[in-house]
Structure formats: C-alpha cells, structure tokens
C-alpha cells in the first residue's frame, strides 16, 4: 500500500490525481479515475457554462458515492465568479486553481469545507500560494500537456519539495509506473497525470484525437500560443500550451503577430475543430504522449500506475540498499 499525505487526506487508494483538463476531463473521466482508486478532477475552461460544472460534478461523484475534484483557471475566474459558485455548489473534495494566484478563492473554498490546491510553474508562485493558505501545491513542469510554464518537472519538484512545508504533487511527463515511483521517491505526495488519460474511452475528446494520441511519439509536441492567438483567448503571458505538432503549428509558431491579424486562419481553425481535422485543430498533450500506445479504461490506467509504482519502489529500494 502506498501511503502519502494525499491518500490520507482524501481517503483514496493510490496517490494519483487525474488532472483537470478543460474539454477532455468531464464527469465520466473523473468518475472513472476515482473508481480506479485515484482522485478524478473535472477541468473547467474559461468559456464553460456554470451549468456544465454542476452537471459534470454530479456525474463525477456518482450521486455522492465518489470523491472528485474541480480544476479552475485563476485568470478566467476574475470575470466569471459564477464558475467558482457552481464549483462550490457541486461539493468537490478538492479544487485546484491554476495559471494565476489562488489567494482570492481560498477563503470561500475553506468556508465550504473544500481543500484548495494551487498548480504552479515556479518557486515564487508556489511560495505565494503557500502564504495564501492552500492545502497542497502541484509542481507543474514544462513537460506537461496543455498550458504550463517553462521549468521542467524534475527541477521544479526538487525545488518545491525542498522549499515548502506543504505537500507537493508532481505534474508533467508522468505516464508510467516508473514516473510515479520516481516522483514519490523524490518526495512528492502524489502524481497529477493528464496525458496518459487522453486515449481513455471516458475522455470527452473525439475518437480521432485519441487515435492521434496513440500514434504520437515523445518528440511530436510543441509549446505554442498559436491556438490561443488564433481563437483570441486571453491567456496570461508565460503559459503557452503544449500540443501535438501539426500543419497549423508548423505554419504559425513564431509568427503569432501575423496570426493575430489573420482572421482567415482563425476561421480555418474553428472549421477544423468542428470537422475533427487534427492536421489543423489542436490536441493538447505532453511529452508523456510517447508512453501512450493503446486506449485503456481510465480506472485501469490508474490501477496500473499505482500497483506498478508500488512494486517498482519495493524492488528498487531492496536492490539499491541491499549492499549497504
């Protein structure tokens, strides 16, 4: 049995969190992760409706039977207090705030008996989050799928585990039992995984996207703002999104100013999204995409990660320490 502050505080079997992923991690995926023994999270994007949060939260919790979490974006909450209210009304165990300071939201979450997490890209943001009273911090490295900062998972995790008093989770590039074992051995209280769930049938993405995830190699991603620029989404600076490279990124990455002025490119992207044409439309995914080689139910992914990490840690510790 792997026991960490995360498994103890949340009462879950494995120290594994299914990352909130807007547009992909809705109620069905979150429920499957929690059924597998992890904590499933619902990802809420800047344009999602408040009703979506309550509906997907109800699916995730399976009428109160399962714990679940909700992931919010700090910069989106500034104009959308309804998303925070809907989140609190859906009664999650944990709420994460990413891509900006969590401070303004911690009090309301704690008043409702909800644990607060901050997903952060660097040490300064982590220290600010700790001062603002969150319960745990997620070290999100640049290897991660979706929007993230520029420091790699491993250096960031080491810094945060050394510097904070709070439990730290590791996010970014973890896609196999070895990855889970590595971050636990380094002092993380858990692994926060997104990309390795992108091919699971419970995900809210399209089957064509899942197939691309299965085919992609670890070298097939790029950190880019082009999809946000083309859609006019006001992401704060410093958070490009890691996505699968395609014709659109090849054409526009590095030419973001021109792209912003090109309304045809924006229209083309919207059309490609509707048609599931992923030579143009985006699939956000991290470098761990190279470890996803088939579509497995999310509960099975979580169990394999948890059981495999436990076995590896036993074997490696025995082998490494036996000659001492």
Ligand X SMILES: Cc1cc2nc3c(=O)[nH]c(=O)nc-3n(C[C@H](O)[C@H](O)[C@H](O)COP(=O)(O)O)c2cc1C
Residues near ligand X (CB under 6 A): 19-22, 24, 43, 45, 71, 73, 96, 98, 119, 140, 143-146, 171-174, 192-195, 284-286, 288
CB nearer to ligand X: pick between 41 and 164: 41
Cβ atoms of 129 and 118 closer than 8 Å: yes
CB nearer to ligand X: pick between 230 and 285: 285
Closest separation in Å from C-beta 261 to ligand X: 27
Q: Could you please report the per-residue DSSP string of 227-276?
A: HHHHHT--PPTT--EEEE--HHHHHHTT-HHHHHT-HHHHHHHHHHHHHT
Taking the alpha carbons at both ends of the chain, their separation in whole angstroms is 25
Closest separation in Å from C-beta 204 to ligand X: 10
Cβ atoms of 287 and 245 closer than 8 Å: no
Closest separation in Å from C-beta 324 to ligand X: 34
Closest separation in Å from C-beta 224 to ligand X: 14
Beta bridge partners of 95: 70, 116
CB nearer to ligand X: pick between 155 and 315: 155
Is 274 exposed, middle or buried, given 0-12, 13-18 or 19+ CB atoms closer than 10 A?
exposed
CB nearer to ligand X: pick between 20 and 240: 20
Residue nearest to ligand X (CB): 194
CB nearer to ligand X: pick between 74 and 265: 74
CB nearer to ligand X: pick between 262 and 297: 297
Q: Could you please report the per-residue DSSP string of 16-44?
A: EEE---TTT--HHHHHHHHHTTSEEEEE-
Closest separation in Å from C-beta 91 to ligand X: 19
Closest separation in Å from C-beta 262 to ligand X: 25
Q: In this structure, are strands 221-224 and 241-244 parallel, antiparallel, or unpaired?
A: antiparallel
């Amino acid at each position: 049995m792997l026991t960490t502050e995360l498994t103890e505080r949340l009462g879950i079997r494995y120290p594994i969190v299914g990352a909130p992923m807007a547009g992909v991690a809705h109620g069905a995926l979150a429920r499957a992760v929690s059924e597998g023994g992890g904590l499933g999270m619902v990802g809420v994007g800047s344009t999602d409706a408040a009703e979506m949060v309550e509906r997907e939260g109800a699916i995730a919790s399976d009428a109160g039977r399962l714990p679940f979490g909700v992931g919010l974006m700090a910069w989106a909450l500034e104009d959308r207090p309804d998303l925070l209210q809907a989140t609190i009304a859906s009664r999650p165990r944990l709420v994460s705030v990413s891509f900006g300071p969590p401070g303004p939201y911690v009090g309301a979450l704690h008043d409702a008996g909800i644990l607060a997490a901050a997903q952060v890209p660097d040490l300064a943001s982590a220290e600010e989050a700790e001062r603002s009273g969150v319960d745990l911090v997620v070290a999100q490295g640049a290897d991660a799928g979706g929007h993230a900062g520029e420091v790699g998972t491993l250096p960031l995790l080491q810094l945060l585990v050394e510097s904070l008093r709070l439990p730290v989770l590791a996010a970014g590039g973890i896609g196999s039992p070895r990855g889970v074992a590595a971050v636990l051995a380094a002092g993380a209280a858990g692994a926060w995984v997104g990309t390795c769930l992108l091919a699971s049938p419970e995900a809210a993405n399209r089957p064509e996207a899942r197939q691309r995830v299965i085919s992609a190699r670890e070298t097939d991603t790029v950190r880019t703002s082009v999809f946000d620029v083309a859609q006019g989404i006001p992401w704060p600076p410093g958070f490009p999104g890691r996505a699968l490279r395609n014709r659109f990124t090849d054409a526009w990455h590095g030419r973001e100013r021109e792209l912003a002025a090109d309304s045809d490119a924006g229209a083309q992207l919207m059309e490609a999204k509707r048609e599931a044409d992923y030579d143009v439309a985006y699939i956000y995914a991290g470098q761990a995409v190279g470890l996803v080689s088939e579509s497995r139910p999310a509960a099975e992914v979580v169990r394999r990660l948890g059981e495999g990490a436990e076995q590896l840690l036993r074997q490696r510790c025995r082998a490494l320490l036996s000659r001492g």
